[in-house]
Structure formats: C-alpha cells, structure tokens
A and B are shown apart, each in its own frame.
Chain A
Amino acid sequence: MGMNTDPWPYIASAYGLGFLAIYGIYVLLMLQSKKLKKLKIIAEKG
C-alpha cells in the first residue's frame, strides 16, 4: 500500500554528502598545508 519510494536519491545524497565532507576537508587541509609551507619559509627568513 502507498507508494514505493525511489531509494536512489537517498543513497546518492548520503554518499554525496559523505564525499563532500571527507574529501572536501582533505582538499582544504592540503591547501592549508601548502600555504603554511610558504609562510614558514618567509617567517624563517625573518
């Protein structure tokens, strides 16, 4: 009885958000590392 909801939009949103959260944070961390590497060199030069 009632409709049979299509599961795939739910599956896609869940994994899509997981991807954005985990791989997004990874990308942000890599960008941060790059920036800090440059700043470290500048700071050490004085």
Chain B
Amino acid sequence: MRKGIKNRWIVAGFVLVGAITGLSFVSMDKNSVYFYTPSEAKAGAAELSSDLIKVGGMVMPGSVTWKPENLSLSFTLTDLKGTDIRVNFTGTPPDMFKEGQGVVCEGTIAPDGTGIIARHLLVKHSEEYKPPHGEGASKEKELLEKSLFKE
C-alpha cells in the first residue's frame, strides 16, 4: 500500500477502536455509575473513601452555610428519604446552586460516610422550562427526585 493510504487506515483503525472502547465504558455495569446516591455512598463509604467519587443528591433547604470571606460552603446532601451527608466545599459554587437544587459532588467521602469533602460541585438541574410568570406550579422537585435517585 502507498504510505498515505496506509497511514489513513491506521488512523481509521484507531478511531474505530477508540469508539468501541468508549462504548464499553458506558456499560450497564454498576461499577461505572456516573454518581452514587447518598445511601449507596454511605453504604460503601469504607471502600470508597480512598477514591475520588461522585455523589448526587438534593441540597437540603435550610442546611446551607456560606462564608464569602474564605469561600467556604457547607450544606447537607439529601436523598429526601432520610439519608443525609454533610458536604464541605471551598470555592465559588455554580450560579444555579441553591437550596432544593440537584447537585453532584465530586470529592472524597469519610470512611464512616458522615461527610464529603467536595473538590467540584456540578449542578444537576431539572428538565422543566417555563417563563418566570407562567401558569401552573413547578414540577422541579418531583422531576429532580426522579432523575437523581433512579435504580
């Protein structure tokens, strides 16, 4: 084969292999969940404490403490069914962070599952879209609960 065509075959081959590898990462295997729920994280805290993990839940209303002087944020991550974990984070949270919001905390969990030190906070918002003065009550809480705590 001429060199130019052979190189393209190689590149195309890598592309294909890369795609298939990627697909297998997104498998149904429990070991590759994108984030744990608070109860899953607490249950597995001893083994998970040495890893960087993601835990997703809702910001419990009334639980947020924010000290702008040293950018120190703490709040309770809840699954709305009685499992709560305290989260500590240093930095400015995303704009959409608020009480009642969905949040995925990337960080480390204490071996006893009581607290998380978060390195990153990712807001997980609902799929509801409506104007500010629209009709009807918001379904935000219900939608978030459904998509945060499935399986």
A6 to chain B, nearest CB (A): 10
Check B83 for interface membership: any CB of A closer than 8 A: no
B134 to chain A, nearest CB (A): 19
Check A32 for interface membership: any CB of B closer than 8 A: no
Q: What is the size, in residues, of chain B's interface with A at 8 Å between Cβ atoms?
A: 9
Question: Given the complex of chains A and B, what is the CA–CA distance between A5 and B92 in angstroms?
Answer: 12
Residues of chain B with a CB closer than 8 A to A1's CB: 64, 66, 68, 73, 92-93, 97
How many A-B pairs with Cβ below 8 Å? 16
Chain B 76-96, CB-CB to A under 8 Å as 1, else 0, gives 000000000000000011110
Residue of A nearest to B94 (CB): A2
Residue of B nearest to A7 (CB): B95
For chain B residues 33-51, which have a beta carbon within 8 Å of chain A? none
Residues of chain B with a CB closer than 8 A to A13's CB: none
Question: Given the complex of chains A and B, what is the CA–CA distance between A1 and B70 in angstroms?
Answer: 13
For chain B residues 91-127, which have a beta carbon within 8 Å of chain A? 92-95, 97
Chain B 43-67, CB-CB to A under 8 Å as 1, else 0, gives 0000000000000000000001010
Residue of B nearest to A3 (CB): B92
Besides the contacts A1-B73, A1-B93, A2-B92, what 8 more A-B pairs have beta carbons closer than 8 Å? A1-B68, A1-B92, A1-B97, A2-B93, A2-B97, A3-B92, A3-B95, A5-B95
Return the 9 tightest CB-CB contacts between A and B, nearest first. Answer: A2-B92, A1-B66, A2-B93, A5-B95, A4-B95, A1-B93, A2-B95, A3-B92, A1-B68
Interface residues of B (CB under 8 A from A): 64, 66, 68, 73, 92-95, 97
